[in-house]
Chains A and B, each alone.
Chain A
Amino acid sequence: MNARCNRPIARLCSLPVWFAALFLAMAPPAVPAAGVGLSQLPQRWLGDDGRAIAFNSLAGRRVVLTMAFAGCHVICPLTIRRLQQMQRRFDARGERADFVIVGYDPENEGPADWRAFRANHHFDRSNWHFLSGSRDDTERLAHQLGFEFWKYDEHVMHGMRALVFDARGQLQLELDSDTKNWASAI
């Protein structure tokens, strides 16, 4: 009934050898760069309307930045919901802020996909920007800002995180899944 012992790979390899090889191969995790400003980030992005946009063009306003995956049905909807709560808080205060959502997976989700995402979720405000860029710029941005992610086939593994930059473009606040109420944190 059972033929597990017949599998040649299991006979040839011992567990300690595999573990040693795996841990030797491990790369250090991404670490957020403290004190980073918007002007130090990659600037070549496309909005969901297909037009080029740079972070520098958002200078003078507060910016809430997160990274997301349009096909995510678990974490991203929750992140977006929290951003909407922040938007309501800004509105109540009469403050203006830009919300920037940068796609994790530009190879599979371009401006058209984010345009569909905007339409499907009824995001009609012009201060919400859904950006996609090159794979290099996306990885560079994620690395600079400490957004850890990895792709598992068509899935994108990522956490819940957003950063708030002040009107001078300097990092002001980091929000993550441990922050209970993002809206009250701003």
Chain B
Amino acid sequence: MIKQAGNTARGLALAVAAFSAIAPIASRGAGSEGEQIAELKQKLDQSLKMIEALTARVRQLEAAQPASTPTAAATAVPADAQRIETVENRVAQMEASNAARGGDSSSLPMHGFADVGVANHNPWNPDLKGYYVGDLDFYLTPRLGTHTKALFELNFETDTDGSIGVDLERAQIGYSFSDAATVWLGRFHTPFGYMNTALHHGSWIANALRRPAFLNFEDHDGILPVHTVGAWLTGAAHGEGGKLLYDVYMGNGQRISGGVIDMRNAGNDHGQLIAGGRLGYQWTEGAAEGLQFGLHGFSSKIGDDQVPEHNTQLRVVGGYGVYDTDRWEHIFEIYLFDNKDVSGNGGTHKSTAGFAQFAYRAPFGVPYLRYERASLQQADQYFAQQAFGASYWRAAIGIRFDIDPKSALKLELANTHVTDQTPNQIQREYDDALAQYAIRF
């Protein structure tokens, strides 16, 4: 009887120990480690109670029959206690492991955005109409450590000709000294204006259905080098009531190939750089809370694929203002071009582009108005060689409905006037009606 009880206690303890040994492996495949641990603790408690009861019973029997087989029971209790201690330690280790899993550096959380829509003029190619597939944008931010940061943005996008393309839109690895200074290397969104760094590839993130046309991404016929491959120092200095924001960057001078700005992922052949900076101030409290103003400027030597090649020294300065609160989202940006033809005697050309957008965050949705205009000198080879380098203006009205925290429906009506006749564009006017379903995941 005593031997049987001792064997039962040992077997139970061994079973608990064995279970604790395989539990970490099993828990990786389970949906919730917290549930696993709670269950394991419950089983451990039950086991402890059972072992205590059995131990008490063994002692009781030992007291009743002191002459019978004392060694098994005498050794079983310390051995079981040791095993129980091992199990408790294992549970503690599992708890610690589970708690630390939230910051597990080995995991690679992946998120992103997607959108589809329908329009009488495609948002990026007005010659197409009907249903369209927008972007499928994957965003990866592996956690590497306290100071080293990385982000990659891989975008499956429908190009203006309807084909699907894949772009590594951003590939940045950086070192963060503090909130005041982070240095990034790689391909990033060129820090000019507000929208280019605040509102990225995912349509869901913006209230408006699309970007202003002149701020479109390069492969959607944008006229600015919205991506740069190079180095970028960025940070913020917090003060009482606001913070000072700064950016300084340099990278490969871009090139116009086939009418599209190429940010030269692997370097350029003339060694010229794009260099620029941005300085802004954001109010974070008081009556001006949500207000932000900034100035920016950059210069880049940009060639093209013509024979002979045109080289333009692109010189841009500008400013932006934002009022972003729980109720309002107003944005304006202005860009002033003073481009110099450095390969011939084309002289300098001044052009302007800008937009103003007003949005109200109402309980039912976010209605918005936008006016955008670009007056681009067609004698400037920088604009003349681009697929959409023509002057235009567009007025748009739209609304965003948030279906749930992860999806939004947007509608927009717009009137667009292309006011320059170029080899790639004809002078014309058209009305847009667009709908878009955008999600994040």
Residues in A neighbouring B110, C-beta threshold 8 A? 22, 25-27
B140 lies within 8 A of A25 (CB)? yes
B205 CB contact (under 8 Å) in A1, A26, A36, A152: A152
Counting CB contacts under 8 A, is A142 at the interface? yes
A22 lies within 8 A of B160 (CB)? no
Counting CB contacts under 8 A, is A177 at the interface? yes
B258 lies within 8 A of A3 (CB)? yes
Complex Cα–Cα for A6 and B167 (A)? 12
Residues in A neighbouring B241, C-beta threshold 8 A? 116
Counting CB contacts under 8 A, is B154 at the interface? yes
A6 lies within 8 A of B258 (CB)? yes
Interface-lining segment among B5-13, B100-108, B208-216: B100-108
* Minimal beta-carbon separation of B69 from chain A (angstroms): 44
B111 lies within 8 A of A2 (CB)? no
Residues in B neighbouring A154, C-beta threshold 8 A? 198
Counting CB contacts under 8 A, is B52 at the interface? no
Residues in B neighbouring A32, C-beta threshold 8 A? 32, 34
A159 lies within 8 A of B405 (CB)? yes
Counting CB contacts under 8 A, is B138 at the interface? yes
Chain B residues touching A, majority SS:
mixed
Counting CB contacts under 8 A, is A33 at the interface? yes
B405 CB contact (under 8 Å) in A141, A142, A160: A160
Identify which of residues 1-43 in chain B touch chain A, using a CB-to-CB cut-off of 8 Å: 31-35, 38
A73 CB contact (under 8 Å) in B35, B156, B329: B329
Q: Identify the interface centre among A3, A75, A119: most chain B CB within 10 Å of its CB.
A: A3
Residues in B neighbouring A7, C-beta threshold 8 A? 165, 167, 219
B167 lies within 8 A of A143 (CB)? no
Size range of the interface on B? 35 or more
Counting CB contacts under 8 A, is A153 at the interface? yes
A152 lies within 8 A of B200 (CB)? yes
Chain B 257-287, CB-CB to A under 8 Å as 1, else 0, gives 1111000010000000000000000001110
Given known pairs A74-B402, A159-B405, A177-B405, the reply for A150 and B284 (CB within 8 Å) is no
Counting CB contacts under 8 A, is A92 at the interface? no
Residues in A neighbouring B89, C-beta threshold 8 A? none
* Minimal beta-carbon separation of A115 from chain B (angstroms): 8
Complex Cα–Cα for A53 and B260 (A)? 55
Residues in B neighbouring A177, C-beta threshold 8 A? 404-405
Complex Cα–Cα for A22 and B138 (A)? 8
Given known pairs A1-B424, A22-B154, the reply for A150 and B361 (CB within 8 Å) is no
Complex Cα–Cα for A73 and B32 (A)? 32
Residues in A neighbouring B141, C-beta threshold 8 A? 150-151
Count, chain A residues at interface, CB 8 A: 55
Counting CB contacts under 8 A, is B139 at the interface? yes
Nearest A residue to B139 via CB reads: A152
Counting CB contacts under 8 A, is A52 at the interface? no
A153 CB contact (under 8 Å) in B109, B168, B197, B285: B197
Counting CB contacts under 8 A, is A185 at the interface? no
Counting CB contacts under 8 A, is B326 at the interface? yes
Residues in B neighbouring A15, C-beta threshold 8 A? 156, 164, 166
Nearest A residue to B282 via CB reads: A71
Residues in A neighbouring B38, C-beta threshold 8 A? 33-35
Residues in A neighbouring B259, C-beta threshold 8 A? 1-3
B32 lies within 8 A of A108 (CB)? no
Complex Cα–Cα for A135 and B179 (A)? 13
Residues in A neighbouring B325, C-beta threshold 8 A? 73
Nearest B residue to A41 via CB reads: B99
Counting CB contacts under 8 A, is A180 at the interface? no
* Minimal beta-carbon separation of A69 from chain B (angstroms): 12
Q: List 26 A-B contacts (CB under 8 A).
A: A1-B387, A4-B160, A4-B219, A7-B219, A8-B265, A10-B167, A18-B156, A18-B166, A27-B107, A31-B32, A33-B33, A35-B34, A35-B38, A73-B325, A73-B326, A73-B329, A75-B405, A112-B238, A139-B103, A140-B102, A150-B141, A152-B202, A153-B197, A158-B405, A159-B406, A177-B404
> 4 tightest A-B contacts by CB?
A3-B258, A33-B34, A143-B102, A116-B285
